[in-house]
Structure 1
């Protein structure tokens, strides 16, 4: 079976890229099409596949890939499928689903979110820009949205990564979708749970505006507790300049180093509104509780059982502000020893990669008789 997989870009290895890598296990001979591919920073994870990149993929534009969003439609139009494929699968939170599909080939879209620039979060992005640039950016967001609307019916059926995103697909695209949660690497569940003393709180993931790491810096500047921040992103230098000495920015780490940080972690704090969010589950695989903003994908991964903490995987805070986060930390510390690491790990295991692959295969069989 000839299969093409379209993904927005392979620059860093985050949740969307891990989903594609899992899908490739079902289709090991699939060809890949993408706007940008940085082989050096991404690693060898897709090196065994034929990878075709867009006309935008040069060193200058690749380094500015998030800022050149007005060019995304041009880039996706430049990607031409090289074979008569039996199946096209797009991995979407950008322009991937807009690729031209010849010969009525079935097109499945696994959607991480309708483009956040255009649908539901436009103002959040605009507010991070200098005021003089906002009108220009607003114009281009509008044009990108208009183009995105033209690609909605380029898809035969959608698979949403969460019930949260399923609702967005229905609200914004007026399309139905099935839900298959993203895959969590089974190797994470092989690690033995440690009982050593834990002294730090953790932030883990991209340091970008909507992740709201600024709230954690504000909170921990006030409370003086230890906070470790793993990740890179556009907000890092600005937040690092504001942070006091109890806050460590560790950058991007190899997984063995990340595991060392996990062994010292009391809880992950997750202040952003995520489409789904794989990182909380990856951390839960190590028996670590999660303190999360009670909106978006976290509602599908974090379990707060107010009557039985031993059957909880974390706690929620209700507002994206420092006071709400501090209150959640204080509540957590009162019941910290009541959390059951084994229960947390077993909860995360329900999202394992084997379950993802099984559900994905069953859905293909149901929809396409494959």
Structure 2
């Protein structure tokens, strides 16, 4: 069975890329097509001889890949399928589903989100840009949205990474999507919980970009003086670093082994953004750590808040304000000793990679057997 996997870019190893790695366990001989490839990140993790990149994959464009959105349609058109395939799988929150298919080959689109800068979050992205750049960016966002509409029918079936995204697919694309949650690395559930470790920090990690709302955490912890460790990199980091007080430490991008040393000190993960799904909370819950999250988006599908704290995996705050975050922290500190790390881990285990692989195989078999 010949399979092609199309992913928007392979630059960093985040949630979307981990999904591709899991799909490759189902189809280990699949060819991979992508706009951009960072060989340093993926040199040993993926089969080099079967990775095909777009015409955009050169040093300058690759370095600034997120700013190259006006060129994405051109890049995806430059990707020519090298063989006749039995199944096409796109992993999508960019232009991947626009891959040109010449015949009636089944095309499954595992969609992490319709492009956020085109659908539903345009204003947030524009606000993060210099004012002088906004009119031009708005023009190109509109053009990209119009192009995206033309590729909707290129897909046989959409598989959304959450109910939240399935609703957005129906709202923006007019298409029904089945739901299959992304996979969590089974190796995380083999780690010791270390429930007797000294817990002395709050933690945030992930991309430091505007919609992640790390600025909200900096403002809250500037006020309360509690220790916060921020792991990750992104466009907002330098600005937030300048305003953060000494109780807030920015650690940059770290290997998982280094992140783990902080996890064992963590009282709770803070998750203040509105995510399409959000794998980081589940990865942290695999260590028995509760999550304090904004009550919107994918977090509603992964975090359990119950009157019975012993059967909860975290708490929610209802508004993206300093006051709401602080109220949630205060409530957490009143009940933190009642959270059950074993229950939290068992909840996260429901999202393990083995569950994803089994369900993905079953869904693909509906379209090609």
Q: Which TM-score tier does this pair reach, normalised by the shorter chain?
A: over 0.9
Could you tell me whether the CA contact under 8 Å between 1:29 and 1:49 is conserved in 2? Answer: no
In the superposition, the TM-score normalised over structure 1's length comes to 0.98
Residue of structure 1 in register with 2:21 after alignment: 21
Residue of structure 2 in register with 1:157 after alignment: 157
CA distance in 2, matches of 1:2, 1:294: 42
1:15-45 CA-to-partner distances (Å, cap 9, x unmatched) read: 0000000000010000000000011134521
CA distance in 2, matches of 1:215, 1:49: 44
CA distance in 1, matches of 2:87, 2:139: 35
Residue of structure 1 in register with 2:175 after alignment: 175
1:79-101 CA-to-partner distances (Å, cap 9, x unmatched) read: 00000011100000000000101
Residue of structure 2 in register with 1:230 after alignment: 231
Residue of structure 1 in register with 2:264 after alignment: 263
- Rate the CA distance shift 1:267–1:355 in 2: closer, same or farther, 3 A: same
Residues 1:99 and 2:99 aligned together: yes
CA distance in 1, matches of 2:177, 2:41: 33
Structure 2: 5+ residue stretches without partners: none
Residue of structure 1 in register with 2:241 after alignment: 240
SS at structure 1 position matched to 2:229: strand
Residues 1:75 and 2:75 aligned together: yes
Residue of structure 1 in register with 2:52 after alignment: 52
Residue correspondence of structure 1 range 298-309 to structure 2 within 5 A = 298-306=299-307, 308-309=308-309
Could you tell me whether the CA contact under 8 Å between 1:186 and 1:352 is conserved in 2? Answer: yes
* Cα RMSD after superposing both structures: 0.8
Deviates more, 1:351-360 or 1:251-260: 251-260
Could you tell me whether the CA contact under 8 Å between 2:112 and 2:161 is conserved in 1? Answer: yes
CA distance in 2, matches of 1:70, 1:42: 25
Aligned length: 368
CA distance in 1, matches of 2:61, 2:315: 41
In the superposition, the TM-score normalised over structure 2's length comes to 0.99
Residue of structure 2 in register with 1:368 after alignment: 367
CA distance in 1, matches of 2:293, 2:199: 19
CA shift at 1:369, angstroms? 4.3
Residue of structure 2 in register with 1:108 after alignment: 108
Could you tell me whether the CA contact under 8 Å between 1:276 and 1:297 is conserved in 2? Answer: yes
Residue of structure 1 in register with 2:311 after alignment: 311
Could you tell me whether the CA contact under 8 Å between 2:106 and 2:368 is conserved in 1? Answer: no
Residue of structure 2 in register with 1:285 after alignment: 286
Residue of structure 2 in register with 1:145 after alignment: 145
SS at structure 2 position matched to 1:193: coil
Residue of structure 1 in register with 2:358 after alignment: 358
Structure 1: 5+ residue stretches without partners: none
Could you tell me whether the CA contact under 8 Å between 1:30 and 1:49 is conserved in 2? Answer: no
Residue of structure 1 in register with 2:188 after alignment: 188
CA distance in 1, matches of 2:218, 2:10: 29
- Rate the CA distance shift 1:49–1:278 in 2: closer, same or farther, 3 A: farther
CA distance in 1, matches of 2:256, 2:348: 18
Deviating beyond 2 angstroms after TM superposition, the runs of 4 or more aligned structure 1 residues are none
SS at structure 2 position matched to 1:272: coil
